[in-house]
Amino acid sequence: MLSVRDLTVSVGPETAPVDIVAGVSFDLAKGEILGLVGESGCGKSMTSLAVMGLLPQPGPRVRAGRVLLEGSDVTQLQPWQRVEAGHGRMAMIFQEPMTSLNPVRRIGDQIAEAVRVHEGISGAAALSRARELLELVRMPDPGMQLSAYPHQLSGGQRQRVMIAIALACRPQVLVADEPTTALDVTIQVQILGLLRELCNRLDMAVLFITHDMGVIAQLADRVSVMYAGRIVETAAVDALFGEPRHHYTRGLMDCMPSRNSGVRRLPTISGQPPVPGTVAAGCVFALRCAAVHDECRVAAPPRLEASQGHEVLCAFPLAGGELP
């Protein structure tokens, strides 16, 4: 459904570009949720914006690589050009629904606006489709809520409205950038459940971006772990959590409090992620890696296939079967 190949997003002058996303590749199938996980600044949001054609302008740009939607190259197309060219069936939801919704318009009108753009219907027909969409996202009392303003809704309900707007184009691909980070856990679990249900029911491909390994474990089918602009490990979710092969992935899991109940001190990853553009040669994780070899500091690490569908960007990956 969606193929991303060697995507490189750069900032700075053409003559001396700094890559904030460096050669990212992944595939996303129908009805599949791919989790893209990493810490702030790792390039996961830039990847999602580049995939959507929504990079802020002027600013970061796609310097190399391709985004293929059902085989068609949409890399350099603006969102409206994609719609005109018939590739409009991608949608995105964001972290903070309050900043994405217009505070002075009724939510029914905001959903109907998206319906008008994508379905060419208006008036009562668009509103009735808006109501259907609210039912689809399991909004309580959808008929009443059409005339509500965003401030009258709870955070979870607002995110449901955002999802309804995203579904107006009947998307084949839904990109979700930290959609539950601003929500309480009790509401997060509802929104994650809704996304899983919609993915199955509508056979959508979902690219789910988060910093939270717990959320990834709950929701994703496959996972790509990003660090300093690169995907360092990709695997099916069971394989990733059962047998992480990259030292960074393992480190991320080890320092989660919920995996360490009762221990006196939490394991940590020393140091901080590198500033983009400062790693000249070798592995980007070498500075923080506990198992670093001399070779890692000079030679770029190979992309190894640890097992079927389990790729790791490391010259000295962890052996399988290390975690219980």
Residues 164-193 that bind another protein (CB under 8 A): 184-190, 192-193
Segment interacting with another protein (CB under 8 A) among 53-61, 129-137, 153-161, 299-307: 153-161
Site membership for another protein, residue 309 (CB under 8 A): no
Task: Give every CB contact of residue 261 below 8 A, 6+ residues apart in sequence.
Answer: none
Site membership for another protein, residue 99 (CB under 8 A): no
The helix-helix angle for 185-202 and 155-167 (nearest 10°) equals: 20
Site membership for another protein, residue 251 (CB under 8 A): yes
Binder to another protein among 56, 71, 257, 321 (CB under 8 A)? Answer: 257
Site membership for another protein, residue 286 (CB under 8 A): no
Binder to another protein among 213, 287, 313, 318 (CB under 8 A)? Answer: 213
| Residue 18 burial by Cβ neighbours in a 10 Å radius (0-12, 13-18, 19+) | middle
Binder to another protein among 21, 252, 289, 314 (CB under 8 A)? Answer: 252
Cβ 184 to another protein shortest distance, Å: 4
Would you say 57 or 261 has its CB closer to another protein?
261
Site membership for another protein, residue 262 (CB under 8 A): yes
d(CA 245, CA 113): 46
Segment interacting with another protein (CB under 8 A) among 88-96, 170-178, 266-274, 298-306: 266-274
Cβ 227 to another protein shortest distance, Å: 10
Would you say 52 or 107 has its CB closer to another protein?
107
Site membership for another protein, residue 140 (CB under 8 A): yes
Segment interacting with another protein (CB under 8 A) among 52-60, 67-75, 154-162, 167-175: 154-162
d(CA 41, CA 20): 8
Strands (E), 167-268: 173-177, 205-210, 222-227, 230-236
Q: How many CA atoms lie within 13 A of 144 on its CB side?
A: 5
Binder to another protein among 154, 295, 298, 305 (CB under 8 A)? Answer: 154
Binder to another protein among 3, 23, 39, 118 (CB under 8 A)? Answer: 39
Task: Give every CB contact of residue 270 below 8 A, 6+ residues apart in sequence.
Answer: 288
Determine contact, residues 125/111, Cβ cutoff 8 Å.
no
Strands (E), the chain: 2-11, 18-28, 33-37, 61-69, 72-73, 90-93, 173-177, 205-210, 222-227, 230-236, 303-307, 310-313
CA distances from 151 to 108, 119, 181, 227, 244 (A): 14, 28, 19, 37, 43
Site membership for another protein, residue 196 (CB under 8 A): yes
Token pair for 250 = 């393992």
Would you say 86 or 257 has its CB closer to another protein?
257
d(CA 232, CA 44): 12
Site membership for another protein, residue 148 (CB under 8 A): no
Binder to another protein among 43, 88, 142, 156 (CB under 8 A)? Answer: 156
d(CA 241, CA 234): 11
Could you list the residues that contact another protein (CB under 8 A)? 39-40, 140, 154-157, 184-190, 192-193, 196-197, 211-219, 237-238, 241, 251-253, 255-262, 264-269, 272
